[in-house]
Structure 1
């Protein structure tokens, strides 16, 4: 099928041509706008997301504090044949920055007895939080999040452009059908 199309001419929809239709020009502008919004919108959204995630992770690193705590109870697996390195939940207690005692659940290695000191991470209010993400892992997480969010944001204008282009194509085909119905019967007649 491509052999019958002839050579490809760049920007033919914008050039002056007696065969150029208004729908060709409209389609060209729609697709140009769709590609611009896809590329720029996706890139800007991705970069903003990377910046926001990096700032959030940096704030977590700055606010998180390692606090000494003690196990209140034996970690599950004490005195049993639990595999080494298995991580389980158990209760611990620590002191908040204002001096009030706190308790909560954290993950520790199986088989640790009660009253064993462990380190827990807290926020400035003394509440338990996850261990802050390192700089390198945080940067990787921010970049991956930015790529996925940017790609997701770029899909929207691309999809809208394809949808509009499909509607223009259907409208163009309907017009061709109308013209064939009107002109087709006149082909068999000869001038006398």
Structure 2
């Protein structure tokens, strides 16, 4: 039994059928896979880190404030459940003594004059409750996965486009070669 040489790496070995475009394609594939793996990993790690830092910064700037519901909360047409939140006008006082009024999500069961808890940002403006550390970590990991996957897709898609262009060029070269062969044989090949 004779051993046949492998055909997987044929572009890298010398042989009479290998063309320059085959070598170019081999290098494009190698570079594309390296860029896809390294670039995807780098994009994923950087995105996850940036998202985590952003969530930490928001959490550090947000603070819980006790406010008074000044206006009856806006209720929908249906009956709200006990945990439902609706929009209501609240008034709160900053540590510097300035009073602010704004609209915030409050429990549906709250009535005018009742105390509710709202969140403010570093400038004293109303904001939503910051995400918990676990939720921020989950969102960061998910964002990193999406960024890494998108990077890999862009690199591999670009490599496929380059390979398609090389294939188109090779087909043109083969058509030219067949035309020369056909001319030598006196147009008897078709």
Q: Under a length normalisation based on structure 2, what TM-score does the superposition of the two structures give?
A: 0.88
- Residue 157 of structure 1 and its aligned partner are, at CA, apart by 1.8
5+ residue gaps, structure 1: 1-5
Does 2:167 align with 1:165? no
Work out the number of aligned pairs and report it: 183
Does 2:133 align with 1:128? no
Q: Which residue of 1 aligns with 2:151?
A: 153
For the residue of structure 1 that corresponds to 2:17, the secondary structure is: coil
- Residue 113 of structure 1 and its aligned partner are, at CA, apart by 0.9
For the residue of structure 2 that corresponds to 1:92, the secondary structure is: strand
CA distance in 2, matches of 1:8, 1:95: 77
Q: Return closer, same or farther for 1:12/1:111 CA change in 2, 3 Å cut-off.
A: same
Does 2:80 align with 1:83? yes
CA distance in 1, matches of 2:169, 2:115: 74
Q: Which residue of 2 aligns with 1:93?
A: 91
CA distance in 1, matches of 2:90, 2:5: 75
Runs of 4+ in structure 1 deviating by more than 4 angstroms, as ranges, are none
Q: Under a length normalisation based on structure 1, what TM-score does the superposition of the two structures give?
A: 0.87
1:88-144, Cα deviation, whole Å (9 max, x unpaired): 111101112321001111112224210110111112322112111111111000011
Matches within 5 A, 1:22-171: 22-77=20-75, 82-85=79-82, 86-171=84-169
Please tell me whether the aligned partners of residues 45 and 146 of structure 1 are also in contact (alpha carbons under 8 angstroms).
Answer: yes
Q: Return closer, same or farther for 1:105/1:8 CA change in 2, 3 Å cut-off.
A: farther
Q: Return closer, same or farther for 1:98/1:24 CA change in 2, 3 Å cut-off.
A: same
Q: Return closer, same or farther for 1:88/1:7 CA change in 2, 3 Å cut-off.
A: farther
Please tell me whether the aligned partners of residues 14 and 25 of structure 1 are also in contact (alpha carbons under 8 angstroms).
Answer: yes
The CA RMSD measured in Å over matched residues stands at 2.2
Please tell me whether the aligned partners of residues 74 and 111 of structure 1 are also in contact (alpha carbons under 8 angstroms).
Answer: no
For the residue of structure 1 that corresponds to 2:101, the secondary structure is: strand
CA distance in 1, matches of 2:12, 2:50: 41
CA distance in 2, matches of 1:166, 1:8: 24
Q: Return closer, same or farther for 1:90/1:8 CA change in 2, 3 Å cut-off.
A: farther
